[in-house]
Amino acid sequence: MQENQLLSHYNQQDREQLATLVMAVLDDWNIQEEYQISLLGLPEDTAVRELTKFSRGKALPDDDALLQRAVHLIGIHQALHVVFPLNPKMPGFWLTTRNRYFRGQPLTVMLEEGLAGMDRVWRHLDCTRNWE
């Protein structure tokens, strides 16, 4: 089953749990709010208070593109903790440090390329993503 097909089956409770989880990931990475909005693919005029509501369990919108981004961010987070199991601060540092493979910061790749950039970062960190 493809990832898109799985996303269409998220109910309200799933989207509430996903919201809480993805916001915890972004907070763990110490990502600025405007970058969080961009990474999630929310409209640019989204108020920062919406992020707080997501952190508190408000369901993410039932939007496949946004849900795909959230799943990618969580996957990247999990992969970073596999790569750096002993240093919980390393994921945020790694994302904001120049990387030779990306010719820049992985965070910049994700911000500029959106979902495709997130997919590149996740595939770089987790070789099993290339088996699909």
Exposure class string for 35-73: b at 16+ Cβ within 10 A, else e: ebbbbbbbeeeeeeebbeebeeebbbbeeeebbbbbbbb
Mean pLDDT of 91-119: 96
With 0-12 CB in 10 A as exposed, 13-18 as middle and 19+ as buried, what is 81? middle
> How confident is residue 15, by pLDDT bands cut at 50, 70 and 90?
very high
Mean pLDDT of 105-128: 95
pLDDT tens string 18-71: 999 999 999 999 999 999 999 999 999 999 999 999 999 999 999 999 999 999
31: left (phi over 0), alpha (psi -120 to 50) or beta: beta
pLDDT tens string 73-99: 999 999 999 999 999 889 999 999 999
- Given a contact cutoff of 8 angstroms between Cβ atoms, the answer to whether 130 and 79 are in contact is no
CA distance 103 to 99: 6
